[in-house]
Amino acid sequence: MIDVRELRKEYRVARHHRGGWGAVRNLFESGYDVVRAVDGISFRIAAGEFVGFIGPNGAGKSTTVKMLTGVLEPTSGDVRVGGRVPRRERLAHVAHIGVVFGQRTQLWWDLPVIESYELLRHIYRVEPAAYRQQLDRLVLLLDIAPLLDTPVRKLSLGQRMRCELAAALIHAPDLIFLDEPTIGLDVVAKETIRTFLAAENRERGTTVLLTTHDLSDIERLCPRMLLIDHGRVVYDGAVEQIRRTLGRERRLRVDFDGAAPDGVPAYVEVEERAPRQLVLRFDRDAVAAHDLITWLAARASIADLVLEETPIERIVAAIYRDGLPASR
């Protein structure tokens, strides 16, 4: 579906001298600095995959997505999406992709939502019968029937994002690019969109590339994660694998019916202690959670407990800060 090889994008930025004399120098001297936004990345995404594409601000995510969608021409390298070169075959390319940008809208601001859909049907040249079937399906799954006659400017953010998703899928694309689709949404709206996207990928085989800073989206939806930093791919693999490799630390919160035990086993650290509660941290490779719980239960009556894995946010932050372990 997506095949990227040694993809690069460079920009020339005019060099300016500061200050009064700098303004004079700018009249007679000119020069450029080369900024490499994407620095030789390579990856493949098969049809039907749901892939998270993440990285810090300025890492090159948006530039990469723009090259994949045909908005930008690469400086060098090769990119093919569905066998097409996006920038050179834009008309054929856009007929097979959908795009949702969390901070931008493809709906007409002052028109009712349904009229935007009708305009998009004509733009994508969707047959009336296929359009009606797809629209009915999306309206039902995204629960937007009450919103169809409402001008876009009157929608809440959560309502608009549901309508944006329907707009991006109105022509039944094979591939959809999502850029921060849940940004600024409340918990209920996020879960609605996540459930819909998971079903779209699972039931219809739609390939999804999700760009987000909300790593709970990645954990909820994406078996695979592409991590980019300074224009280069620093991790490409399973989300669960990186958790097993770098997320060895676990956290156990235990409430007791009576007094908490005075001590803890070796290799276990007490993070918090209260008369009837312990919060413990331990390395999953050094201590098995079952053995630790058994040890505690033999010494005090357990009322409740919660076992927590290392948050994915902490794992990704450690990669940004320290890089991947040398063994990888």
Check whether 19 has a pLDDT greater than 90: no
Q: What are phi and psi of 240, to 5 degrees?
A: -65, -35
Per-residue pLDDT reduced to its tens digit, 106-148: 899 999 999 999 999 999 999 999 999 999 999 999 999 999 9
Is residue 118 a part of any domain in this protein?
A: yes
Residue 237 and residue 114 share a domain = yes
CATH code for the domain of 96? 3.40.50.300
Length of the chain: 328
Residue 172 and residue 291 share a domain = no
The model's confidence at residue 164, banded by pLDDT at 50, 70 and 90, is: very high
Q: What is the pLDDT of residue 271?
A: 92
Higher pLDDT, 241 or 43: 43
Q: What is the pLDDT of residue 115?
A: 96
What's the whole-number mean pLDDT along residues 96-109? 86
What's the whole-number mean pLDDT along residues 75-83? 93
Higher pLDDT, 12 or 118: 118
Q: What's the whole-number average pLDDT of the chain?
A: 89
In angstroms, the CA 171 to CA 154 distance is 25
Q: What is the pLDDT of residue 24?
A: 67
Q: What is the pLDDT of residue 186?
A: 83
CB 207 within 8 A of CB 175: yes
Residue 76 and residue 170 share a domain = yes
Check whether 317 has a pLDDT greater than 50: yes
In 3D space, the residue among 192, 197, 196 whose CA is nearest the CA of residue 177 turns out to be 197
Residue 303 and residue 171 share a domain = no
Is residue 15 a part of any domain in this protein?
A: no
Residue 184 and residue 165 share a domain = yes
The model's confidence at residue 328, banded by pLDDT at 50, 70 and 90, is: very low
What's the whole-number mean pLDDT along residues 173-188? 88
Domain span at 274 = 248-308
Q: Which of 208, 243, 278 is where one domain is finished?
A: 243
The model's confidence at residue 26, banded by pLDDT at 50, 70 and 90, is: low
Residue 274 and residue 215 share a domain = no
Higher pLDDT, 291 or 103: 291
**Hey, what are 236's tokens?**
């490409």
The model's confidence at residue 55, banded by pLDDT at 50, 70 and 90, is: confident
3-state class of 301 per DSSP? coil
Is residue 38 a part of any domain in this protein?
A: no
Is residue 11 a part of any domain in this protein?
A: no
The model's confidence at residue 105, banded by pLDDT at 50, 70 and 90, is: confident
Higher pLDDT, 202 or 326: 202
252: left (phi over 0), alpha (psi -120 to 50) or beta: beta
In 3D space, the residue among 97, 37, 99 whose CA is nearest the CA of residue 73 turns out to be 37
Q: What is the pLDDT of residue 255?
A: 95
**Among the ranges 51-60, 75-84, 186-195, which has the highest mean pLDDT value?**
75-84
Beginning with the edge strand found earlier in the chain, give each strand of the sheet holding 277-283 in spatial order: 268-274, 277-283, 249-256, 302-308
Name residue 102's amino acid: G
Higher pLDDT, 128 or 327: 128
CB 174 within 8 A of CB 82: yes
* Structural domain count of the chain: 2
The position carrying tokens 């996207």 is 197
CB half-sphere exposure, 316, CA atoms < 13 A = 23
CA 242 vs CA 135, 284, 307: distances in Å = 39, 14, 19
Is residue 31 a part of any domain in this protein?
A: no
Q: Which of 194, 209, 243 is where one domain is finished?
A: 243
Ranking 15-24, 191-200, 218-227 by mean pLDDT, the lowest is: 15-24
The position carrying tokens 């993809």 is 7
Ranking 82-91, 121-130, 244-253, 264-273 by mean pLDDT, the lowest is: 244-253
Ranking 21-25, 102-106, 143-147, 244-248 by mean pLDDT, the lowest is: 21-25
Residue 60 and residue 129 share a domain = yes
Q: What percent of the chain has pLDDT over 90?
A: 60
Check whether 5 has a pLDDT greater than 80: yes
**Hey, what are 107's tokens?**
């709906």
The 10 Å CB-count burial string (b at 16+, else e) for 166-179 is: bbbbbbbbbbbbbb
| Beta-sheet strands, E only, within the chain | 2-14, 32-45, 50-54, 76-81, 97-101, 175-179, 207-211, 224-229, 232-238, 249-256, 268-274, 277-283, 302-308
Q: What is the pLDDT of residue 81?
A: 94
Higher pLDDT, 44 or 308: 44
- DSSP assignments along 120-160, one per residue: HHHHHT--HHHHHHHHHHHHHHHT-GGGTTSBGGGS-HHHH
